[in-house]
Structure 1
Amino acid sequence: MSIFNKSTGGFMDQIRCDEPDYLIWKWRPAGSQANALGRENAIRWGSSLRVRDGSVAVFVYHQKDGTCEDFIEGPYDEILKTANLPVLASVVGLAYEGGTPFQAEVYFINLAHVIQARFGVPFFDVYDPRFLDFGVPVAVRGTLTFRIKDYRQFIKLHRLDEFDLDRFKLQVRDAICRYIKAAVANAPSDLGIPVVQIERGISQIHDAVAPQVVERMSDNFGIEVSGIDISALEIDKTSEGYRQLMSVTRDVEQRTVQAQTNVNIKNLHDQQRINAENLEETLRIQREEAQRMQRLATESTNFSAFQVEKQAEVGIAGAQALGQMGANGATEMGGAGGAGGFDPAAMMAGMAVGGAVGQNVAGMMNGMMGGLGQAGTTSAPGVVPPPVPQVGYHVAVNGAATGPFAIPVLSQMLSAGTFGADSLVWKPGMAEWRRAGDVDELASVFGGSTPADMPPIPPTA
């Protein structure tokens, strides 16, 4: 489109791009033809330039020292002057003020236009690193979305006068197919994805290849990739390689499952055995602890009876030791080891036994010695008097009745700390349990005098 310029007597051009869909578009003056010499690049002085938002106009000048470029980003709508295009200041002279056209190529680059290029990688063999003898054919399909962001870098990589969008998209598709093919081929080893399950690894492969694609497309083509979508990974399941790999993999999986099952069963048996042993040991410890607690409880409940029993055993042993002192009719002091004399060693042994018993058996020893003395004065040789009657009291210990115990034994229990004035006692004939300190008959146990009404000990026959 052009309008008549009355001041110059010529036509003033409007440099603009009205194409609805473009990536790179070259402007030509009105009435010129493509590849026409001279007129194709002639721009009249005073022509206007209109650049839409999201686009950039590139002016390319050919000078003696090379090619110069000037960029005007949209939005822009003004008359062209040397002040607008700094590069023109060195090549535009006063002659142009008279309307003489100057030479420049004008290209419009659409920075807002997003290009989608579909790509497809035909079947190629992918190998499992464990079974390199079986190649499985795999095909890939997807879409690449990109746009031009750094137009200066883009111009360095591409000749604008030779740019063809279809050829450019083909170059991009070829490059993306190479990148995707390499990523899929390396996925089994790099990402650990089995070949027979590679269809399920689209997201992993996408995450691995996307950063590489973005960087390479920017470096090699000057475009910004805004999206890469791998829509499908297809395995040729009718191929011989797939069938062979499936057969081998299935055998390996079965053996692996069987081995894992055996390990699990062994672990289960071992765990059951360990649990059984632990349970058995726990029950044994609990049983022994229960028996020990029961034994301690019994001993605590019947402590006095247990003590008297042990005292009686010691007393019997002491009596036997004393009885041995007069064995074989020994009446004289004899030497050590003498057969016919009184053995001091035996006497000392008897005294040691008596000393071990201590005060706890003193009363019992006195009683036995008294019986021996009476036996020596009786008129009837060999006749032993009956034992002195002993009064027996039951003692309450931990809520249970123990005994009966004779008064001498109660004295021993008092010395041992297992009996006291507050202990409850009872004997046949008593109506109820009473404090030991309130029973007159037990006054001697606690250090009192012998009751006045105690009857005399009957003489022995």
Structure 2
Amino acid sequence: MLLFDRSKKTGGFMDEIRCDEPSYLIWKWRPTGAQLGKGNRENAIRWGSSLRVKDGEVAVFVYSRCNETVQEYIEGPCDMILNTKNLPILASLVGLAYEGGTPFQAEVYFINLARIIQVKFGVPFFDIYDPRFTDFGVPVAVRGTVSFSIEDYRAFIKLHRLNNFQLEDFQQQIRDAVSRYVKDTVANAPATHNIPVIQIETKTAQINDMVEYDLAERLKENFGILVSGIDIGAIEIDKNSEGYHQLMAVTKNIATVRIEAETQDYMERLRIHREEEQYAAHKQTQTVNIGAFQVEKQADVGIAGAQALGQMGANGTGNVNWGGSADGFNMAAMMASMTIGSAVGRNIADAMNPMTGSMGQSTPAGVTPPPILPVAYYVAVNSKAIGPFELSVLAQMASSGQLTADSLVWKNGMSQWEKAKAVDELKGLFSVMPPIPEE
């Protein structure tokens, strides 16, 4: 069945329904020679007309049937003669033709699904406020570009009247909607996302991400378009405004106070750290030279005791008065002196013990023997010599893992550094206790 009855004369010429516009979003087709608003000829489609719809386009036929508007969609690519054999979706148009081959009435719109529209937008200067300093409004302007296309053409047509669609008006609607939403996002960015107003120019990328997702959803819902990108080109602060200068002065004072406080805190922590390092180094020195430290302290006690003994005569401690006067033998002072003398003796003996030889050796008269120095080794750590350490300290270091059998050691008399396991005096520090045999 043909779109029109072939047995009847058609009259007129065939039309080619196609869109050759180089750039469009929605374009209305008109027959050749038809003028806008000049009767029904504007929408007349003749029998046998051809339809060509390119890839990325959709042709929309809009006609009335039973006082109801009907829409038919033809997606590209498509190149055919309008008849019911190859275009059954238009079979309902057959009854709309007048007898004698009079063309039927239908509006044809082409929608470009492939074109991406770019709309530049600009938000003139408006005041934004830092939530910490709400008395100072700073003028800010925003400019950028939004890119979109039509993906769901059915949803798009539901939101827009095709017969009076103007791309310029539509772009202005998009521009206004984008500007309102961008302005709202930028104005709330300091409070919502903790962005200082004076730094908002440097946060363009962050604000762009905040805008893009939500704005894409809004434009899809309200305008039926698919947003492919939003590019905020710049956020500009009016740095000549009074509000900007007042906010800069306030924040500069606060920053100065904060920096001073942080500097003082840093210096105090540095002082404590330095004292702790000095104390640790002092304790390390005492540990390394524990023997000399003990001798030094014992000598201090001996000197103090000698000084106390020297005061006994001046205090009358050793005097004995047999003449019957009130001053007699001072027993309490004598006991105190004996106690001090005993302590002095013990400390002197302790100080001299490391310096004396074996009990069987004798010392020539009038000759003071030199002190016997304890055995001490230097240890190589990170290519540096530390020490010297006595055997007791080395034993502790070996037990804690600070000294191993492969550690290099050296003492006076050795020709070169040796591994600790190769030194006879140190071999025992690394011996492992064998397991107890089972009974």
Q: How does the TM-score come out when normalised to structure 2?
A: 0.63
Distance 1:94 1:234 in 2: 60
Structure 2 counterpart of 1:50, from 52, 55, 64: 52
Structure 2 counterpart of 1:100, which letter?
T
Task: Verify: 1:102 aligned to 2:120, yes or no.
Answer: no
More relative contact order, 1 or 2 (CA 8 Å, 6+ apart): 2
**3-state DSSP of counterpart to 2:31:** coil
Task: Verify: 1:137 aligned to 2:139, yes or no.
Answer: yes
Give the C-alpha shift of residue 172 in structure 1: 0.4
Q: Give 5+ residue unaligned stretches, structure 2.
A: 1-5, 296-356, 363-439
Distance change (3 Å), C-alpha of 1:186 and 1:402: same
Give the C-alpha shift of residue 25 in structure 1: 0.5
Once the two structures are superposed, residues 132-153 of structure 1 have per-residue CA deviations (whole angstroms, 9 ceiling, x without a partner) of: 1101000011111111111111
2:160 aligned residue: 158
1:193 aligned residue: 195
1:113 aligned residue: 115
Once the two structures are superposed, residues 70-105 of structure 1 have per-residue CA deviations (whole angstroms, 9 ceiling, x without a partner) of: 111111110012355545333423966852211111
Distance 1:197 1:95 in 2: 68
Distance 2:68 2:33 in 1: 28
1:295-374 pair list within 5 angstroms: none
Structure 2 counterpart of 1:24, which letter?
I
Distance 1:289 1:167 in 2: 97
Distance 2:132 2:227 in 1: 35
1:274-293 pair list within 5 angstroms: 274-288=276-290
Give the C-alpha shift of residue 265 in structure 1: 0.9
Give the C-alpha shift of residue 63 in structure 1: 2.0
2:219 aligned residue: 217
Give the C-alpha shift of residue 289 in structure 1: 6.6
Structure 1 counterpart of 2:211, which letter?
V
* Mapped contact 2:11–2:102 kept (Cα < 8 A): no
**3-state DSSP of counterpart to 2:94:** coil
2:149 aligned residue: 147
Stretches of 4+ moved more than 4 A in 1?
A: 83-87, 94-98, 289-293
* Mapped contact 2:125–2:140 kept (Cα < 8 A): yes
1:21 aligned residue: 23
Distance change (3 Å), C-alpha of 1:87 and 1:16: same
1:172-211 pair list within 5 angstroms: 172-211=174-213
Structure 1 counterpart of 2:36, which letter?
A
**3-state DSSP of counterpart to 1:92:** helix
Give the C-alpha shift of residue 291 in structure 1: 6.8
Distance 1:292 1:258 in 2: 47
Q: How does the TM-score come out when normalised to structure 1?
A: 0.60
1:405-420 pair list within 5 angstroms: none
2:367 aligned residue: none
1:389-428 pair list within 5 angstroms: 402=358, 404=360
Distance 2:40 2:96 in 1: 20
2:129 aligned residue: 127
Give the C-alpha shift of residue 221 in structure 1: 1.0
2:336 aligned residue: none
Distance 1:8 1:171 in 2: 44
Taking every aligned residue pair, what percent have the same amino acid on both sides?
58
Larger radius of gyration: 1
Distance 2:103 2:73 in 1: 20
Structure 2 counterpart of 1:209, which letter?
V
Distance 2:9 2:292 in 1: 125
Structure 2 counterpart of 1:274, which letter?
E
Structure 2 counterpart of 1:169, which letter?
Q
1:227 aligned residue: 229
Structure 2 counterpart of 1:18, which letter?
D
Distance 2:291 2:223 in 1: 85
Distance 2:158 2:93 in 1: 23
Distance change (3 Å), C-alpha of 1:256 and 1:51: same
Give the C-alpha shift of residue 403 in structure 1: 5.6
Distance 2:361 2:282 in 1: 44
Give the C-alpha shift of residue 30 in structure 1: 2.0
Q: Give 5+ residue unaligned stretches, structure 1.
A: 294-400, 407-461
Distance 1:35 1:201 in 2: 52
Give the C-alpha shift of residue 285 in structure 1: 3.0
* Mapped contact 1:61–1:105 kept (Cα < 8 A): yes
Distance change (3 Å), C-alpha of 1:33 and 1:95: closer
* Mapped contact 2:9–2:100 kept (Cα < 8 A): no
Once the two structures are superposed, residues 330-356 of structure 1 have per-residue CA deviations (whole angstroms, 9 ceiling, x without a partner) of: xxxxxxxxxxxxxxxxxxxxxxxxxxx
Distance 1:215 1:103 in 2: 38
Distance 1:16 1:194 in 2: 55
Distance 1:226 1:38 in 2: 39
Structure 1 counterpart of 2:66, from 64, 67, 85: 64
Structure 2 counterpart of 1:149, which letter?
E
**3-state DSSP of counterpart to 1:11:** coil
Structure 1 counterpart of 2:39, from 12, 34, 37: 37
**3-state DSSP of counterpart to 2:52:** strand
Distance 2:217 2:292 in 1: 78
